[in-house]
């Protein structure tokens, strides 16, 4: 919500992908991309450096980042082939196995299992109880949905809290994670080549931080067990901690509920465009085989 993206064409008809972000952004993400690319992870797109050798141009309170423009579709609108799933598995394994230089570790976010989003959802309900009747149709729909689905949402928040308390006590290896590797961040070219894009929030965390998206059902795609099998054919053998996987699937939904709620309820109706589309995206999380359904089933699969 703090970024805008553009396709830009220069006088010589070269085309670029431009991201304009509001707020401070350091160079660490671009440095990580360069290191990964130099280390053999070819399915990422490093930014183009400025004439001063920096990957980011700061303009007042904004950051400008420029990439080569690559024509393609994303994994939300186009199903990955079996071979593309295998390739995605290989890419993500390379990322997770990447040995981050010690000089960079202190600059990369570290997983803290923050309660920020759980608290935000609780505050949403406190706001809903004190909120006077609204005349905005989308706001009314959202309020009614939140009230009707309060038991389910409360279960998500409470279970995320319980799982968090459990896994914080476990010794867990942290690896470099993309942190948002859903279908929308996989770019597919006409040539069938794929790229992982949007490296804005890398984090050192358990590998399940990324693996929770595989079979997790974000946007009601990537919920086919056969696709998951091909992914792990590429990723290779690994032990998955089901409790951590369940935590991340619960926590991601809680975060989305908080962000949709803040956008649809706590901001003026004219601030965000396509509010109707945002509401549809929010409601779709509760569809059969959607993220909520999958998160609960993941938790049931925990032998503990």
In tens, the pLDDT along 8-63 reads: 999 999 999 999 988 766 678 888 998 999 899 999 998 999 999 888 888 888 88
Q: How high is the mean pLDDT of the chain? A: 91
Confidence tier at 108 by pLDDT (50, 70, 90) = very high
Over the stretch 144-166, which tens digit does the pLDDT of each residue have? Answer: 999 999 999 999 999 999 999 99
Query: Whose structure tokens read 């350091």?
Result: 26
pTM: 0.91
Over the stretch 188-206, which tens digit does the pLDDT of each residue have? Answer: 998 899 999 999 889 999 9
Question: Is the pLDDT assigned to residue 304 strictly greater than 50?
Answer: no
- What are φ and ψ of residue 284, in 5° steps? -65, -20
Class of residue 291 by CB neighbours under 10 A (exposed 0-12, middle 13-18, buried 19+): buried
Q: How many other β-carbons are positioned within 10 Å of the β-carbon of residue 213?
A: 24
SS (H, E, C) 70-116: CCCEECCCCCCCHHHHHHHHHHHHHHHHCCCCHHHHCCCEECCCCCH
């Amino acid at each position: 919500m703090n970024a805008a993206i553009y396709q830009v064409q220069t006088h010589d008809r070269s085309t670029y992908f431009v991201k304009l972000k509001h707020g401070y952004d350091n160079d660490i993400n671009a440095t990580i991309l360069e290191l990964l690319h130099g280390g053999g992870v070819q399915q990422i797109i490093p930014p183009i450096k400025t004439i001063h050798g920096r990957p980011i141009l700061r303009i007042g309170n904004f950051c400008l980042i420029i990439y080569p423009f690559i024509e393609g579709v994303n994994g939300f609108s186009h199903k990955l082939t079996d071979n593309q799933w295998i390739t995605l598995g290989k890419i993500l394994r390379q990322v997770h196995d990447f040995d981050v230089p010690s000089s960079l570790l202190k600059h990369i976010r570290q997983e803290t299992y923050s309660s920020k989003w759980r608290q935000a959802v609780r505050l949403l309900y406190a706001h809903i109880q004190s909120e006077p009747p609204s005349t905005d149709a989308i706001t009314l729909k959202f309020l009614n949905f939140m009230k009707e689905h309060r038991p389910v949402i409360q279960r998500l928040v409470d279970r995320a809290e319980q799982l968090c308390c459990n896994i914080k006590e476990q010794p867990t290896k942290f690896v470099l994670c993309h942190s948002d590797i859903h279908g929308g961040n996989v770019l597919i070219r006409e040539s069938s080549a794929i790229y992982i894009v949007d490296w804005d929030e890398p984090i050192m965390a358990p590998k399940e931080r990324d693996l929770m998206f595989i079979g997790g059902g974000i946007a009601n795609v990537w919920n086919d067990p056969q696709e998951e099998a091909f992914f792990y054919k590429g990723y290779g053998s690994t032990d998955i901690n089901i409790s951590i996987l369940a935590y991340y699937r619960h926590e991601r939904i809680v975060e989305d509920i908080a962000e949709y709620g803040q956008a649809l309820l706590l901001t003026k109706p004219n601030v965000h465009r396509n509010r109707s589309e945002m509401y549809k995206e929010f409601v779709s999380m509760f569809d059969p085989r959607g993220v909520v359904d999958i998160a609960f089933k993941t938790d049931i699969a925990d032998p503990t």
